[in-house]
Amino acid sequence: MKGLLKNLGLLIILAGAAILIGCAVTKNLDNNTLLGTSIVLIVGGFIAYIAINKRISD
């Protein structure tokens, strides 16, 4: 469980990147909702990764 929790931030970042890749492949770059969701997931995943790993190492 600790291993999955440690990688949760990275999984969230990958989900945001997958949305961006999906938008680029389908040429659906006009949809601000999808682009905004992906940036929120990437930034949130980055913050979660730092916060979770800081708590686990302490």
The confidence score (pLDDT) of residue 58 equals 59
Domain ranges of the chain: 2-57
- Tens digits of per-residue pLDDT, 2-57? 777 788 899 999 999 999 999 999 998 888 999 999 999 999 999 999 998 888 76
In the 8-state DSSP scheme, what is residue 28? -
| Dist CA 39 CA 27 (whole Å) | 17
Q: Find where tokens 């680029």 sit.
A: 24
Structure-token pair, residue 14: 């990958």
The model's pTM: 0.84
Q: Find where tokens 């929120």 sit.
A: 40
Q: b or e along 16-39 (b: 16 or more beta carbons within 10 Å of the residue's beta carbon)?
A: beebbeebeeeeeeeeeebeeebe
